[in-house]
């Protein structure tokens, strides 16, 4: 059972709210631009975190290192043009937004170089949690965005197999987490992304606050 550090959790909460909220808003915004008003009509383009927060998913992210928000409803029947390609762009929007936030965070770090340890810890958490969300959601396991991205690039004949997997997706993720396989997959990918971003932008000092 993971050890829960209350102070670490407190510093993680702002980062969690930013990452999960913008991730879901990005899905809804791209769907809206493609012609689907569902998310907009339900108020899911809001930057209010309470509109998007799934408390169990947020707790899992804090404690186990992976989690989820309340999924934004998307109806591809409204899409203008190719619906398959539309779902690909909608699915890419979430993890891509987390990646952009992570990059912007190290740029903010470089410009401000915070002297206050509390602020430095919060910025560090914003960076690492968005890296986690980006990498985790790119995994091709239903119902994660990666499975929908995969469905968007694979021939249509693979769609029934992906749809059938969706009913077992959460159970698969729990099993991968409990067996340590999820950590074995996420860990190296996260380290590569962390060191690539901090190295490219000369922000290695942020590593002390992750």
Whether residue 199 has pLDDT greater than 90: yes
pTM: 0.88
Q: What is the DSSP letter of 150?
A: H
Is 166 among the residues known to form the active site? no
- Domain contains 11: yes
Tally the domains of the chain: 1
Average pLDDT, the chain: 87
Grade residue 153 by pLDDT with cuts at 50, 70 and 90: confident
Per the structure, the complete domain to which residue 43 belongs is given by: 6-209
Measured CA to CA in angstroms, residue 95 lies from 111, 148, 154 at distances of 25, 12, 19
- Domain contains 60: yes
Q: In the chain, what's the furthest Cα-to-Cα distance?
A: 55
Residue-wise pLDDT for 96-146, tens only, equals 999 999 999 999 999 887 778 888 888 999 999 999 999 999 998 888 899
- Active-site hit among 24, 54, 117, 166: 24
- Domain contains 175: yes
| C-alpha closest to that of 147 among 157, 78, 158 | 158
Helix ranges (H only) for the chain are: 6-33, 38-41, 55-64, 83-112, 117-138, 145-153, 159-166, 169-178, 181-200
- Domain contains 1: no
- Domain contains 191: yes
Whether residue 1 has pLDDT greater than 50: no
- Domain contains 161: yes
Q: Give the residue, 210 or 61, on which the prediction is more confident.
A: 210
């Amino acid at each position: 059972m993971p050890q829960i550090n209350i102070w670490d959790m407190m510093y993680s909460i702002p980062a969690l709210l930013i990452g999960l909220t913008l991730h879901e808003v990005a899905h809804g915004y791209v769907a809206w631009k493609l012609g689907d008003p569902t998310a907009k009509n339900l108020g899911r383009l809001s930057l209010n975190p309470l509109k998007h927060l799934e408390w169990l998913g947020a707790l899992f992210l804090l404690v186990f290192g992976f989690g989820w928000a309340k999924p934004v409803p998307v109806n591809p029947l409204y899409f203008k043009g190719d619906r398959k390609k539309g779902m690909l762009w909608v699915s890419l929007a979430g993890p891509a937004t987390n990646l952009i936030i992570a990059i912007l965070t190290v740029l903010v770090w470089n410009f401000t170089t915070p002297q206050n340890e509390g602020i430095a810890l919060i910025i560090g958490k914003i960076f690492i949690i968005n890296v986690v969300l980006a990498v985790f959601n790119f995994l091709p396991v239903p119902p994660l965005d990666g499975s929908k991205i995969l469905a968007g690039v694979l021939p249509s004949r693979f769609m029934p197999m992906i749809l059938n997997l969706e009913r077992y997706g959460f159970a698969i993720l729990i099993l991968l987490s409990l067996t340590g396989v999820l950590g074995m997959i996420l860990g190296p990918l996260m380290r590569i992304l962390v060191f690539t971003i901090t190295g490219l932008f000369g922000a290695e000092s942020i590593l002390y606050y992750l």
